[in-house]
Amino acid sequence: MRISIYRYDPDRDAKPYMKDYEVPVEPADRMLLDLLVKVKAMDDGFAFRRSCREGVCGSDAMNINGKNGLACITRIADLKEPVVLRPLPGLPVIRDLIVDMTQFFKQYHSVRPYLVNDEPAPERERLQSPEERAELDGLYECILCACCSTACPSFWWNPDKFVGPAGLLNAYRFLADSRDRATNERLDNLEDPYRLFRCHTIMNCVDVCPKNLNPTRAIGKIKEMMVKRTV
Amino acid sequence: MVKRIVVGAHYGFRDWLAQRVTAGVMAVYSVVFVIAYAAAGPADHAAWRAFFSQGWLRLATLLFFASLCYHAWIGMRDILMDYIKPVWLRLLLQVLVILTLAGYAGWAVQILWRG
């Protein structure tokens, strides 16, 4: 299988270039990641991230034939040749397919992605009803692979100001949590023409999410909460 | 100048909601206008003037233009926020957009209540 990979080593290369590889596909090879491991064996200067190899850690997010996704859960059989692999768009490239995710995580941390509850803790745990727990479905599954945020034009233009789909999905994950007590502060923190309202429902995030989550819906829910508290 | 990370400007919600409401006003007006036009069918200039001399249509059209201007202001502001990075230039362009839209609104009033 022909694979064309974005290569860039800032210490050695004046500018990025695409390098082609011919990788033999064997019956045991199922996912794109299997082939990337082979490329690494052929050319050990090639750098990419990967860890769990089953779509849970979010390390091997990359731009595959123009669409962000995880190499480990992208089936070889579904790929059109030549497979063009580029780093996630919009983030600074450290080397080859490895990008600097600092900005992405800064936005994630800015929404306080943890429970805030100053009430005295009960003896055992803070209980939820099954209905309250169900509110978190479709939110807690986010693996922070950054496929969505780096597919979002609003995040490309304002990565320092717009929280981005991943950050906003996680913001709503805690707004929707019955055990959280910081709803007002969270909404105040998001009420900003950039942080929340740069989302123009382009929905690239929904299109690319490898976990089939819907950040646009979560963002809509945040706006709905703002309507309810204001109107 | 010291560069600090500042979050939560505490505005934006009202504009977002207003953009939706004004869009609704414009959509309703468009439908009502087409129906009123089809019913009256003004053929010449005199008929057009008679058509627009109806008080309710003047008022509805004024509301339409007010909505259009507010809607356009938020849209233009968002575009300028995305693409114009120097703050002085962005502010200048935003002021120009406001003045232009205010001018258009005044012009619309002038046309609607002329003679």
**A208-223: pLDDT as tens digits:** 999 999 999 999 999 9
Asked if B82 lies within 8 A of A154 by C-beta distance, the reply is: yes
- Pick from A189, A198, A223: CB nearest B7: A189
Cis, peptide link before residue A24, omega less than 30° from 0: no
Is any Cβ of chain A less than 8 angstroms from the Cβ of B107? no
Confidence tier at A127 by pLDDT (50, 70, 90): very high
Output the CA angle A52-A53-A58, nearest 5 degrees.
65
Residue identified by tokens 């429970």 is: A115
Q: Is the ipTM of this complex over 0.90?
A: no
Confidence tier at B6 by pLDDT (50, 70, 90): low
Instruction: Return mean pLDDT, chain B.
Output: 92
pTM over 0.95: no
- Residue A63's pLDDT is 98
CB of A163 closer than 8 Å to CB of A218: no
Is any Cβ of chain A less than 8 angstroms from the Cβ of B17? yes
- Pick from A158, A192, A200: CB nearest B12: A192
Confidence tier at B10 by pLDDT (50, 70, 90): confident
Confidence tier at B26 by pLDDT (50, 70, 90): very high
Is any Cβ of chain B less than 8 angstroms from the Cβ of A107? no
Pair of tokens at residue A173: 């994950």
CB of A170 closer than 8 Å to CB of A113: yes
Per-residue pLDDT at B9 exceeds 90: no
Average pLDDT over residues A176-191: 95
- Residue B56's pLDDT is 93
Dihedral sign, CA of A60, A63, A69, A75? negative
Residues of A in contact with B10 (CB under 8 A): 188, 191-192
Average pLDDT over residues B56-67: 95
DSSP string, A161-206: T--HHHHHHHHHHHHT-TT---HHHHHHHH-STTTTTT-----HHH
C-beta neighbour count of A221 within 10 angstroms: 18
Length of chain A equals 231
Average pLDDT over residues A36-58: 95
Per-residue pLDDT at A186 exceeds 80: yes
CB of A124 closer than 8 Å to CB of A41: no
Average pLDDT over residues A162-183: 97
How far does CA A9 lie from the centroid of its chain?
24
Q: Model confidence over A128-167: pLDDT tens digits?
A: 999 999 999 999 999 999 999 999 999 999 999 999 999 9
Per-residue pLDDT at B5 exceeds 70: no
